[in-house]
């Protein structure tokens, strides 16, 4: 039995565009790898030698500032594609936030395979354009929205993406109304350009207003989805 036969994201990853024979050929150039929280797969500025499909877990994309600070520039979930195909270097590091399983390919091998399979290239292009749309929305969030709007938008984004992950994996911990954040408050602040105190203050206010509940430090329950959407703008 191949890795692809047991893959949890077989029908939603970019390889969903391939038929059984093509999947077998792709499986021959890939390998499974497990990452523990804090373990990196790719480092910013290094030669682009690996690409991967995320099978399980959540990873962060980060870049460093000149004074050594880390900025989270993206988050990837199961079925997402990571790495820099058709490129010489990678522009960000990729690090596991939770225990993660990925299907790894040598970048040169994957580039050759993709060039021979237009359906895969098309799927990859579609994913890239979707990511570009999300990045543009995130630029609006960082540049124009208030702290309250940023936190509300972030919680809605997490609810949507983690609920999608739960559907793929039958994960009862996460749904559109209740989920466990993979981030600390400090990391949320880094993502949103806010201090940890501001993040905590905004989430506490949302709880006081009855819009969300915070059963634990990481868990969030959305009690009034419409109100949260209205705040997010």
Distance CA 170, CA 140 (A): 33
> Which residue, 184, 187, 186, 178, is CA-closest to 212?
178
Task: Look up residue 220 and give its two tokens.
Answer: 């969030």
For residues 175-186, give the mean pLDDT: 83
Domains of the chain (ranges; CATH) run 4-140 (2.60.120.10), 145-232 (1.10.10.10)
Distance CA 1, CA 184 (A): 39
For residues 168-194, give the mean pLDDT: 76
Distances, alpha carbon 34 to alpha carbons 162, 175, 228, in Å: 20, 25, 36
126-130, 137-141, 170-174: range with lowest mean pLDDT: 170-174
Number of C-beta neighbours around residue 202 at 10 A: 23
31-40, 68-77, 202-211: range with lowest mean pLDDT: 68-77
What are the DSSP E strand ranges found in 113-222?
Answer: 178-180, 212-213, 219-222
Q: Is the pLDDT of residue 210 over 50?
A: yes
Between CA 185 and CA 24, with CA 59 as vertex, the angle to 5 degrees is 160
Q: pLDDT: is 206 or 17 the higher one?
A: 206
Q: 101-124: per-residue pLDDT in tens? A: 999 999 999 999 988 988 888 888
Name every residue whose Cβ is closer than 8 Å to that of residue 37 and which is 6 or more positions away in sequence.
Answer: 96, 97, 98, 99
Half-sphere exposure of 37 (CA within 13 A, CB side): 5
What pLDDT band is residue 175 in, cutting at 50, 70 and 90? low
Distance CA 191, CA 78 (A): 20
Between CA 36 and CA 42, with CA 41 as vertex, the angle to 5 degrees is 150
Distance CA 149, CA 5 (A): 43
């Amino acid at each position: 039995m191949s890795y692809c036969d047991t893959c949890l994201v077989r029908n939603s990853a970019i390889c969903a565009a391939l038929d059984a024979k093509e999947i077998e050929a792709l499986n021959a150039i890939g390998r499974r790898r497990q990452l523990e929280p804090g373990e990196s797969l790719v480092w910013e500025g290094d030669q682009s030698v690996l690409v991967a499909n995320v099978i399980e877990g959540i990873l962060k994309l980060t870049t460093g500032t000149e004074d050594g600070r880390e900025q989270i520039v993206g988050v990837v979930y199961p079925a997402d594609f990571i790495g820099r195909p058709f490129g010489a270097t990678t522009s960000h590091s990729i690090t596991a936030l939770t225990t993660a399983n990925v299907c790894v390919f040598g970048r040169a091998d994957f580039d050759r395979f993709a060039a021979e399979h237009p359906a895969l290239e098309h799927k990859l292009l579609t994913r890239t354009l979707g990511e570009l749309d999300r990045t543009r929305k995130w630029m609006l969030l960082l540049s124009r929205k208030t702290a309250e709007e940023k936190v509300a938008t972030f919680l809605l984004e997490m609810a949507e993406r983690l609920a999608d992950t739960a559907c793929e994996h039958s994960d009862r911990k996460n749904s559109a109304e209740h989920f466990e954040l993979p981030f600390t408050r400090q990391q949320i602040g880094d993502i949103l350009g806010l201090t940890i105190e501001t993040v905590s203050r905004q989430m506490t206010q949302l709880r006081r207003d009855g819009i969300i509940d915070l059963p634990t430090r990481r868990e969030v329950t959305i009690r009034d989805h419409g109100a949260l959407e209205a705040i997010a703008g």
